[in-house]
């Protein structure tokens, strides 16, 4: 049986005042602090990209020695973590 955590009114009011960005940051900090592993499952997506853009992107990835899909995931992660 998991323990139950109780929150006082002051704490709950503070939580209600948090912005979505502050909530995301709090959850990310909590995961890192407590070593909680986030599921590494991947989701297959489909998106349309102009063919010329994709060809240039693939060529750039080849020059860097990185598979282009891994480069796309790295760019997404970089953007998400760097977003303020």
Higher per-residue pLDDT: 38 or 70? 70
Q: 3-class SS at 65?
A: coil
Cα 38 from Cα 42, distance rounded (Å): 11
Cα 34 from Cα 43, distance rounded (Å): 25
pLDDT-derived band at 81, boundaries 50, 70, 90: confident
* Cβ atoms 79, 72 nearer than 8 A: no
In this predicted structure, the answer to whether residue 47 has a pLDDT above a threshold of 90 is: yes
Main-chain phi, psi angles of 29, to 5 degrees: -60, -40
Structure tokens at 70: 């891994």
């Amino acid at each position: 049986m998991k323990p139950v955590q109780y929150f006082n009114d002051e704490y709950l009011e503070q939580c209600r005042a948090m912005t979505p960005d502050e909530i995301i940051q709090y959850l990310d900090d909590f995961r890192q602090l407590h070593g909680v592993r986030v599921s590494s499952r991947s989701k297959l997506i489909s998106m349309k990209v102009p063919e010329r853009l994709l060809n240039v992107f693939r060529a750039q990835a080849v020059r860097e020695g990185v598979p282009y899909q891994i480069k796309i995931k790295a760019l997404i992660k970089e953007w998400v973590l760097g977003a303020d």
